[in-house]
Chains A and B, each alone.
Chain A
Amino acid sequence: MEVESKILDNSDITIVSVNGRIDSYTNSIFENEIITNIDIGQIKVVVDFTEVSYISSQGLRTVVTALKKSKGQGGFLKLAGLNESVKKIFSVAGLDKVIPIFDSVDAAIV
Chain B
Amino acid sequence: MKTVEHKNPLKNKTPYILQKIIANVENPEKERSDALFALGKIKSQQSIEFLINQVTIREETLKEQIIWTIGEIGGRIAYDFLKRLLFEPQQLMELRLAAAMSLYSMGHKIEVAPILMKIQDKLHSSRKARKEREKKELKDEDIIPFIEREEKIILYLIGSVSDDILDRLINTIDFLKKKICNKILVMDFSEVSEFRLQQMKKFHIFLMNNTELISKIHFTIKDKKIIESIAKSGFFHGVEIIDKI
Contacts and interface: CB of A to CB of B under 8 A. Distances in A.
Interface of A: 1, 19-21, 23-25, 50-51, 53-54, 56-58, 60-61, 64, 68, 81-85, 87-89, 92-96, 98, 101, 103-104
Nearest to B37: A53
A57 B65 contact: no
Contacts of A57: 94, 97-98, 101, 119, 123
Interface in B37-73: 37, 40-41, 61-62, 64-65, 68, 72
| Most chain A C-beta atoms within 10 Å of own C-beta, residue among B65, B97, B123, B124 | B123
B124 A98 contact: yes
Contact of A94 (B2, B29, B34, B120): B120
Nearest to A50: B6
Q: Chain B interface: which size bin?
A: 20 to 34
Contact of A93 (B1, B34, B101): B101
27 contacts: A19-B30, A20-B29, A21-B33, A21-B65, A23-B64, A23-B94, A24-B92, A51-B30, A53-B34, A54-B33, A56-B65, A57-B98, A64-B123, A64-B124, A68-B126, A68-B127, A81-B4, A82-B4, A84-B3, A85-B72, A87-B1, A88-B105, A89-B101, A92-B105, A93-B119, A93-B120, A98-B124
Nearest to A84: B3
A83 B6 contact: yes
Given A92-B105, A95-B123, 15 more contacts: A19-B30, A21-B62, A53-B36, A53-B65, A54-B37, A56-B94, A57-B101, A57-B119, A58-B94, A64-B123, A68-B126, A81-B4, A83-B6, A85-B68, A103-B4
Contacts of A96: 1
Contacts of A84: 3-4
B150 to A, nearest CB: 12
A48 B211 CA distance: 48
A80 to B, nearest CB: 9
Interface string B121-139: 0111011000000000000
A45 B2 CA distance: 22
B4 A85 contact: no
Contacts of B2: 103
A57 B94 CA distance: 7
Given A83-B6, A84-B3, A85-B72, A56 B98 contact: yes
A51 B68 CA distance: 17
A96 B123 CA distance: 12
Contacts of B68: 54, 85, 89
A93 B123 contact: yes
Contacts of B30: 1, 19-21, 51, 53
Interface in B56-111: 61-62, 64-65, 68, 72, 92, 94, 97-98, 101, 104-105
Contacts of B41: 85
A63 B118 CA distance: 17
A91 to B, nearest CB: 8
B122 A61 contact: yes
Contacts of A60: 123
